[in-house]
Structure 1
Amino acid sequence: MPDTALLNALIVLPDQSRLQGAIGITEGRVSILGSDAVVRGHCGPDTTIIDLNGACVLPGFIDSHLHLLMAAQYLSNIGLRDARSLTEVVGRVAAFADAHPDRAWLIGHEWSYGYPDLPETGFDCALIDAVVPDRPVFLASGMAHAAWANSAALQAAGIDASTPDPEGGEIVRRPDGTPSGWLKEEAAKLVQACVPPMSAEQRRTGMMLALKDIARCGITRVESAAYDEELLPLLSELERAGELTCRIGMMSEMRPPAFSEDRLAEIRSLRAQYNTSFLRLDGIKFFLDGVLESHTGYMPRGYADRPDETGTLIWDPALYRTAVSEALRAGFPVWTHAIGSGAIKLALDAYAAEPDASKKLRPRVEHVEIPDADDIPRFAEIGAIASLQPVMVASSDEWMGMEGVWAQRVRPEDLPCAFPMRSLLNAGAAMAFGTDWPIVSLSPLRGIRKAVLRRSLEGGPALVPEQAITVREAVEACTSGGAWACLREDSEGCIATGRPADFTILAADPEQTPVECLHELPVLMTVVEGRIVYRNTQTQGSGD
């Protein structure tokens, strides 16, 4: 007898056919699929019956790349992603400082490069000093791969005119040589190391807000892309209390400059301690480069707007290849952040050097924004996963003033391979979608729309429309593709009897919804292991 029966549903089956019928759920798993009459026939007096009124039941959305700790920080500190001007950014800092006189440090997240009132001199600590002169302020930007700090924060980190640029980073300086407060790539870590950790209360509050947003967007599993290890005890506590409302896989960074046996031992210990169907330390992540927007993605042939610049390569190639081999031989899946063409090629070279382990563990290239054309077939040959974030295709929806900036960085002859979703699928590559939240918005539906239309919500020209994919292909990258990418295709990613009842329930079939409106398609319900973790009481869009 099912514990729960979902009736009058349009169910997406593993072969992508649709079943107009019902699902029976017993002890968190799908126990029966069939017509309403068949499922009703198995129900008893204690079965909870829910009429879905024709809603579409999909396998639960899997966000294959986000940042949980950053999300908790974003939601409990100064959120800046939707600020429309530098004046607004500074105003939010001032307001937060007034509202939180007890905070020793003031932390903000996700400012942009494109504010219309940004001075030609760029981000200067004096602008923040004018509103908060007496406490350190540190504003990080995952999009920019940079940070902006006030004078108190620079002083706390011991940064002055004599401080050298760290390897792989830049302390932006004024004409007189003094630090401006604008810190690129590894330089941001000089101040970040001084930021006190979130209190237990702040961490829990932020995490509960993050879990609420994840459930609201129909997401049943997230894969968190490093820097989150301090959350593991809290997440384990939430799991034991039955408060963990999505499944979580987490990566640990292998830090440059070289492979470390001590670090591998730490990761092994975390895997042994956190290894359940809801919470697991999944593997090891490497960072090879930055982002194109700040000219830090590794582009060996140069940037279109700065031909003499090739970006940043964080690891020595030989040391990186050795570290990847050690990680794969130790049995850990590997992710590599690789945005520029040179970084993507190096990641694939490292994976190809371990062919048996790569076929088994499916190492991933994260972002894959601009590969060389001859590297696209290598994903399928190696067994590597192409992990993309389609919301990035039209980033002006996410970051102020970024319209066209990404394309300006890419040489015209390379542009046809921009976010090459169609080429990857045509070449037989396995592809998974994530968001990179909170760097961008969380809704998978927003990303699905971008993958199909390749343009912003406001319209305008599409970015390389030849690389567009279908709604079905995009949904698969958010469901079965995500399950394959995290080695969980045997339990997640499709709706079938015996599998965990992880569902995203939408107001309509996304394949029958106008593509322009996909981001507005309401998530009605999110179900994780048979438990309803979100129910839409307002029938509104899936949010951001």
Structure 2
Amino acid sequence: MTHPAAAPVAAPTPTPADLLLVHGRLHTVDPALREAEALAVRDGRIVWVGADAEAARWAGPATTVLDARGRLVLPGFIDAHNHVRLGSDDACVQLAGARDLDEIHARIRAWRADHPDAGWIEAEAFDYSAVPGGRMPTAADLDPATGDTPALVLSYDVHTAWLNTAALRLLDVRADRTDLPFGTAVTDPETGQPTGFVKDFAVKGLSRDGHRALAALGVPWASPDRQYGRLAKSLDDAIGYGITTVVEPQNSLDDLALFRRARAEGRLRSRIVAALFHPRGTTDADLDEFAAAAVEFADDRLRVGPLKLYIDDVVEPRTAALLEPYAGCRHHRGDTFYPPEEFAALLARLDARGFQCFVHATGDRGIRTVLDAVAHARAVNGPRDARHQVVHVECLDPADTPRFARLGVTACMQPRHAAPDIAGPGQDWAENIGPERWHKAWPLRSLHRAGALLALSSDWNVAEMDPMIGIHAAVTRRAPGGGPAWTPEETLDVATAVEGYTMGSARANFLEHERGSLTVGKLADLVVLSRDILRADPDDIPGTVAETVVVGGEVVHTVTG
């Protein structure tokens, strides 16, 4: 006896999507489905990923259809370390690219001519290499261009400040008052007088107390309105680059009002993860306030929680902590901000309270001190999924490379910093470290091969915010304009670099179930690029543009023409 063949059962028609993207080349960063052509979004989340041939089933009368025109579609970038509150300040003299004191003076004089009534001269993005002989700048270097108007010049990494003589007087910097609320004044070894150079600005000047002190002294740069202006501009830049999540790594409780304002005014189109600064002297009561803020700010648009700490400073002014002396020095190795035992005990206490810690560490001794502290915390508290981060990892001893994966520590790194025009031969970083240690510089490939989680980022405004610039540097170890590569043995392939800016940064920040890949169920954050960077000549990557940016299923940025 035969039976008639069963009639084929048609797949049920899904509820129409709010947004349907078609004709794309989707690089999903999801190993379960690496490539696709289309996706559907409903209620801000991805509900389907697949082939163009199946996409029409998701279209309805109210569906917005986005034609990617064959373009590469990636998950929205997650910039794991981006100081959007610092930004590029339109009220400052811009010193980026000024290569000597004459050019710095010329830019300041031109600004003064346009602002004859200014009560302060403020400048940013000073490059240490602009001062000849590898020395740090002095008030006497600044005075010829500034006269009696007080001047505050911030270095490109915002780790140091440079004051003229008028500012030294106004800010009451004296030989017997060098431990300042906003930094540590450097003194002349012969006279004992302040030179005008102030180190530790990132540690103290960007703290809650430091900002309040500068604002109280009348420094316009520290005023709330100027801070908000920098934030709003940087947020606009971020979304224009396809950065759909920004990790702002260093904030005080006061700064959260700026993000609240940006959200109320519709400027918070990128999602924010805000880390709270834990300077030395932070109390248990402060930690209670930090924990309360993490409860108050805990949605998918604005989340507060991680803590930012410093173990050392930076290589250029020789304030990073090295295992061996700086090149040309017999003894100077830099200092850690905490003795190792004290820092280990501190990290264990924070770990026990459930905090995730982002620890700035650039020198090999600084990095080792952090890894030792994490090992101590695990021994004391037992292992947990803490995902503590070492931020920057600029000079890593190879013996410590496997410890990242073993301890579950994320390497939060900025590939652009490793390009030769910033750190290579002839620049202060390379000269201070010395050629015999160049193999330790930003070891991206070594860490990746050792199983470390890489979270890649810009460190804006230390370097360009554009992820295309960072990906190019990761892939080539060259400057954006080309030229020779520096330490090319530590390059990454493009797909790995993209993962570092998407899924790697998502995992580093406990966001992997919500962001980082084009996966059904995740937030619909994505970017359509003007060029297929996975197939393009690597030197063409920096010219690539984010043509369309989608956050939560809403098109928030487009480039036409």
How much has 1:346 moved relative to structure 2?
Answer: 0.7
Question: What are the residue-to-residue correspondences of 1:267-346 with 2, within 5 Å?
Answer: 267-346=290-369
Partner of 1:153: 167
- Report the CA distance shift for 1:209/1:327 in structure 2 as closer, same or farther (over 3 A): same
- Report the CA distance shift for 1:253/1:206 in structure 2 as closer, same or farther (over 3 A): closer
How much has 1:458 moved relative to structure 2?
Answer: 4.3
Which residue type is aligned with residue 12 of structure 1? H
- Report the CA distance shift for 1:194/1:140 in structure 2 as closer, same or farther (over 3 A): same
- 1:63 pairs with 70, 74, 79, which one? 79
| 1:177-206 C-alpha deviation (Å, 9 max, x unpaired) | 433312223599589743446444433332
1:179 and 2:204 equivalent?
A: no
1:366 and 2:381 equivalent?
A: no
Partner of 1:490: 513
Distance, in Å, in 2 between the alignment partners of 1:359 and 1:473 is 26
How much has 1:328 moved relative to structure 2?
Answer: 1.2
Distance, in Å, in 2 between the alignment partners of 1:159 and 1:81 is 27
- Report the CA distance shift for 1:34/1:528 in structure 2 as closer, same or farther (over 3 A): same
Distance, in Å, in 1 between the alignment partners of 2:533 and 2:260 is 34
Q: Is the 8 A contact 1:172 1:183 kept in 2?
A: no
Partner of 2:6: none
Partner of 1:433: 456
Q: Counterpart of 1:415 in 2: which secondary structure? A: helix
Q: Is the 8 A contact 1:66 1:224 kept in 2?
A: yes
Query: How many residues in Structure 1 have an aligned counterpart in Structure 2?
Result: 533
How much has 1:146 moved relative to structure 2?
Answer: 1.6
Q: Counterpart of 2:37 in 1: which secondary structure? A: strand
- How big is the alpha-carbon RMSD for the aligned residues of Structure 1 and Structure 2? 2.8
Task: Give the TM-score of the pair, scaled to structure 1.
Answer: 0.90
- Report the CA distance shift for 1:235/1:162 in structure 2 as closer, same or farther (over 3 A): closer
How much has 1:15 moved relative to structure 2?
Answer: 1.8
How much has 1:51 moved relative to structure 2?
Answer: 1.3
Question: What are the residue-to-residue correspondences of 1:447-486 with 2, within 5 Å?
Answer: 447-486=470-509
Q: Which moved more, 1:434-443 or 1:159-168?
A: 159-168
Q: Which moved more, 1:242-251 or 1:50-59?
A: 242-251
Q: Counterpart of 1:310 in 2: which secondary structure? A: coil
How much has 1:238 moved relative to structure 2?
Answer: 2.9
Q: Is the 8 A contact 1:60 1:526 kept in 2?
A: yes
Q: Counterpart of 1:65 in 2: which secondary structure? A: coil
How much has 1:440 moved relative to structure 2?
Answer: 0.9
Distance, in Å, in 1 between the alignment partners of 2:200 and 2:265 is 38
How much has 1:432 moved relative to structure 2?
Answer: 0.6
How much has 1:228 moved relative to structure 2?
Answer: 5.3
How much has 1:366 moved relative to structure 2?
Answer: 0.5
- 2:47 pairs with 31, 45, 49, which one? 31
1:386 and 2:411 equivalent?
A: yes
Distance, in Å, in 2 between the alignment partners of 1:244 and 1:85 is 38
- Report the CA distance shift for 1:161/1:187 in structure 2 as closer, same or farther (over 3 A): farther
Q: Counterpart of 2:521 in 1: which secondary structure? A: coil
Task: Give the TM-score of the pair, scaled to structure 2.
Answer: 0.88
Distance, in Å, in 1 between the alignment partners of 2:290 and 2:383 is 19
Q: Give ranges in structure 1 of 5+ residues lacking alignment.
A: 539-544
Partner of 2:7: none
- Report the CA distance shift for 1:358/1:186 in structure 2 as closer, same or farther (over 3 A): farther
| 1:269-314 C-alpha deviation (Å, 9 max, x unpaired) | 3223222211111211111111112111101311233242101211
| 1:194-253 C-alpha deviation (Å, 9 max, x unpaired) | 344644443333222111110111111111121454331231233245431101111112
Q: Kindly, what percent of the aligned residue pairs are identical? A: 30
Distance, in Å, in 1 between the alignment partners of 2:439 and 2:132 is 32
Q: Which moved more, 1:427-436 or 1:180-189?
A: 180-189
Distance, in Å, in 2 between the alignment partners of 1:187 and 1:201 is 20
How much has 1:262 moved relative to structure 2?
Answer: 2.5
Distance, in Å, in 2 between the alignment partners of 1:537 and 1:187 is 39
Q: Give ranges in structure 2 of 5+ residues lacking alignment.
A: 1-15
- Report the CA distance shift for 1:187/1:144 in structure 2 as closer, same or farther (over 3 A): closer
1:406 and 2:420 equivalent?
A: no
Q: Which moved more, 1:86-95 or 1:325-334?
A: 86-95
| 1:420-457 C-alpha deviation (Å, 9 max, x unpaired) | 11111111111111111001111111111111111223
Q: Which moved more, 1:519-528 or 1:264-273?
A: 264-273
Distance, in Å, in 2 between the alignment partners of 1:204 and 1:165 is 28
Which residue type is aligned with residue 171 of structure 1? V
Q: Is the 8 A contact 1:394 1:403 kept in 2?
A: no
Q: Counterpart of 1:510 in 2: which secondary structure? A: coil
Larger CA Rg, structure 1 vs 2: 2
| 1:315-341 C-alpha deviation (Å, 9 max, x unpaired) | 122221121111111111001111111
Distance, in Å, in 1 between the alignment partners of 2:484 and 2:414 is 19
Partner of 2:214: 194
How much has 1:526 moved relative to structure 2?
Answer: 1.6
- 2:286 pairs with 247, 250, 263, which one? 263
Which residue type is aligned with residue 265 of structure 1? D
- Report the CA distance shift for 1:384/1:60 in structure 2 as closer, same or farther (over 3 A): same
Q: Is the 8 A contact 2:405 2:453 kept in 1?
A: yes
Which residue type is aligned with residue 49 of structure 1? V
Distance, in Å, in 1 between the alignment partners of 2:53 and 2:270 is 31
Q: Counterpart of 2:295 in 1: which secondary structure? A: helix
Partner of 2:13: none
Partner of 2:8: none
- 1:9 pairs with 24, 31, 39, which one? 24
Q: Counterpart of 2:129 in 1: which secondary structure? A: coil
